[in-house]
Amino acid sequence: MNILILGSGGREHTFCWKLAQSTQQPKLFIAPGNAGTAQLGTNLPIDPTDFDTLAQAATSHAIDLVVVGPEVPLVAGVHDFFATHPKLSHIPVIGPKKEAAQLEGSKAYAKAFMERHNIPTAPYKQFTANSLNEGLAYLETTPAPYVLKADGLAAGKGVLIIHDLDEAKTALSDMLANKKFGAASEQVVIEGFLDGIELSCFVLTDGESHVTLPFAKDYKRIGEGDTGLNTGGMGAVSPVPFNDAAFKQKIHDRIVLPTMEGLKKDQLDFVGFVFIGLIRVGDDPFVIEYNVRMGDPETQVVLPRIQNDFGELLQATAEQRLHETELRISPEAAATVVAVSGGYPEAYEKGKAITGLAGDGLIFQAGTAEVDGQVVTNGGRVLAATGFGADVQEALTSAYSKLSTISFEEMYFRKDLGFDL
């Protein structure tokens, strides 16, 4: 079996690592991949939104299955492209079609989906440049803090949480009238602030059945104590200690099942991963957002805890046989710590030599490249070290110890992960 994986992050390296253990011994192709994926398969220098070049590669490498890592190609319709292409329509794609990808690609679409299917989420209203004055008036009628969300994809930067009314009004005008986030903020969702602790739920569905994967919690802010700018994710743990059996049941009954049924009722034909961003308010779960893919760096703790053959799991998904699958989850906890280039998530330098990669730790590479036989930094989030233990604290200790052998100039990582658990 030849598998094409789209993406270049730690998530995609983890997919490759897990697939490399499959009894199906798949041949892996990664577009574009990184220095880590290059050790487990063949990197193809193709942008995952360059569909025509992907089509040529899928044909020349006799690809049997496509697994999409990031959201951008999904929202751009990569699945629809394959499904309607005369030479590619036989190749299953793990990842939703363009319409269903709107669950991540448009906050307003996701809110309407939740409203339609009675899925608990913060109350909201949506505005465009034409209704800016109504939006400003609406802000005056709602209590602080104000949650303003650019409707479209904004690489994790499109959500603003503002405490001061005048600042919120200025931000709303910037987004709608001055297109602060470009086309992504032509529409803005204003929603109620939910005060609680976040966790993430991952579901793999074949369009009919689904399996719920291990829960995880990620750390998004650059600074210790969850301070400073938002990032793609500085680390993650799984399981989530405060997610007890009673709370899990509520998530299942109130959120996972209605989401799966909603996808069917709306005939969205969703095949792939649903990532449900949740917040626990008191004793109740609410949905903060949907993503239509696995999380990064959550994948680096979720996949290592799954004991099933990942090749078989993906094939069962593609063939709508997930109902036959029983997920086996390791009782061990996993934690991952992300090392980033100094300066990230703002400007940073690339090309720094990385040493210590040869150890026996589970190191998932992200922003790396190989230049003249040397692995160098090539992005903001450079790599993640995953460790295991009897509980999350032990797993974190192990992950930190694995990371301690690695170094590159201006390497930074948070030393306080798990502080809130």
- Decide if 382 contacts 411 (C-beta within 8 A): yes
Decide if residue 193 touches ligand AMP (CB under 6 A): yes
We find the least distance from the C-beta atom of residue 331 to ligand AMP, in angstroms, to be 28
Shortest reach from residue 199's CB to ligand GLY, in Å: 12
> Binding-site residue total for ligand AMP (CB under 6 A)?
13
Q: Does 48 bind ligand GLY (CB under 6 A)?
A: no
Q: Does 9 bind ligand GLY (CB under 6 A)?
A: no
| Residue choice 12, 151, 191, 298 for contact with ligand GLY (CB under 6 A) | 298
Residue length of the chain: 421
Work out what residue 218 binds among ligand GLY, ligand AMP, none; the CB cut-off runs from 5 to 8 Å by kind: ligand GLY
Contact status: 147 vs ligand AMP (CB under 6 A): yes
Tell me phi and psi for residue 76, to 5 degrees.
-80, -5
Q: Is 218 in the site for ligand GLY (CB under 6 A)?
A: yes
Q: Where are the alpha helices (DSSP H) in 20-150?
A: 51-60, 71-75, 78-84, 98-105, 107-116, 132-141
Question: To the nearest whole angstrom, how small is the minimum distance from the Cβ of residue 323 to ligand GLY?
Answer: 28
Among 207, 233, 262, 345, binds ligand GLY (CB under 6 A): 233
Residue among 356, 361, 302 nearest 327 (CA) = 302
Quote the least distance from Cβ 143 to ligand GLY, whole Å. 28
Q: How many angstroms separate the most distant Cα atoms in the chain? A: 60
Structure tokens at 304: 């290592």
Cα separation, 168 vs 328, whole angstroms: 46
Q: What is the 3-state secondary structure of 155-187?
A: CCCCEEEECCHHHHHHHHHHHHCCCCCHHHHCE
Could you tell me what percentage of the chain is helix, strand and coil, using 3-state DSSP and rounding each to the nearest 5? 30, 30, 40
Q: How many helices (H) and strands (E) does the chain have?
A: 13, 23
- The pair of three-digit structure tokens given for residue 344, joined into one six-digit string: 């990230």
Does position 336 bind ligand GLY by CB under 6 A? Answer: no
Binding at 198: pick from ligand GLY, ligand AMP, none (beta carbon under 5-8 Å per type): ligand AMP
Closer CB to ligand AMP, 157 or 321, in the complex: 157
Q: At what angle do helices 10-19 and 310-318 cross, to 10 degrees?
A: 100
CA distance 6 to 412: 27
Window 86-145: residues binding ligand AMP (CB under 6 A)? 122
- Cβ neighbours around 79 below 10 Å, total: 25
Per rule CB under 6 A, is residue 277 in the interface with ligand AMP? yes
By the rule CB under 6 A, 194 interacts with ligand AMP: yes
- The smaller minimum CB distance to ligand AMP, of residues 51 and 275, is found at 275
288 binds ligand AMP (CB under 6 A): yes
Q: List the one residue from 80, 198, 284, 370 that touches ligand AMP (CB under 6 A).
A: 198
| 206 lies in the binding site for ligand GLY (CB under 6 A) | no
* CA neighbor of 30 nearest in space, from 22, 21, 14: 14
**For ligand GLY, the closer CB: 131 or 230:** 230
Q: How far apart are CA 183 and CA 230, in angstroms?
A: 21
In angstroms, what is the minimal distance from the CB of 198 to ligand AMP? 6
- How many CA atoms, within 13 angstroms, populate the side-chain half-sphere of residue 317? 28
Give residues in contact with ligand GLY (CB under 6 A).
218, 233, 291, 295-296, 298
Give residues in contact with ligand AMP (CB under 6 A).
122, 147, 149, 159, 161, 191-194, 198, 277, 288-289
